[in-house]
Structure formats: C-alpha cells, structure tokens
Amino acid sequence: MPDFEWQFTLVLLTNGIMIGLMYALIALGFVLIYKATDAINFAQGEFVMFAGFLAAVAAEMVGA
C-alpha cells in the first residue's frame, strides 16, 4: 500500500470546499429571488449556466 499523500488530500479538500461554496452561492441566489418576489425564477439556472460558460471561455483564453 502506498504512503498516504497529504498533498493529494489537501487538493481534494480544497476542491470540495470550492464546489460547496459554488453550490451555496447558487442556492443563495435562488433564495433571495424567491423571498423578494414569492415566485420561482426559472431564469436563475440560465444565469448559472452562462456564468459557467464565461468561466470556461476565460480559462481557455488564459490557457488554463
């Protein structure tokens, strides 16, 4: 059995925290819109998708 790799564990932990924070921001957007209007805004998912698309394009332009 190989030795325990702390660096890989740290990368996994960091990725998990970052993904959790993204989900929290998306949920916060849904809650804020719902509480303000008492209606579900189905366009909110499109905003999230558009932001992801822009992030992918920006990463491609930078070369990441």
Instruction: Find the domain containing 50 and state its range.
Output: 6-62
Amino acid at 4: F
54 within domain boundaries:
yes
Per-residue pLDDT of the chain in tens (64 residues, 90 and over written 9): 578 889 999 999 999 999 999 999 999 999 999 999 999 888 998 999 999 999 999 999 998 7
CA angle 11, 29, 38 (to 5 degrees): 155
Contacting residues for 41 by C-beta, under 8 A, at least 6 apart: 30, 33, 34
Count other C-beta atoms under 10 Å from residue 29's C-beta: 15
Provide the number of structural domains found in the chain: 1
- Encoded tokens for 57: 């394009």
Cα–Cα distance measured from residue 42 to residue 17, given in angstroms and rounded to the nearest whole number: 26
1 within domain boundaries:
no
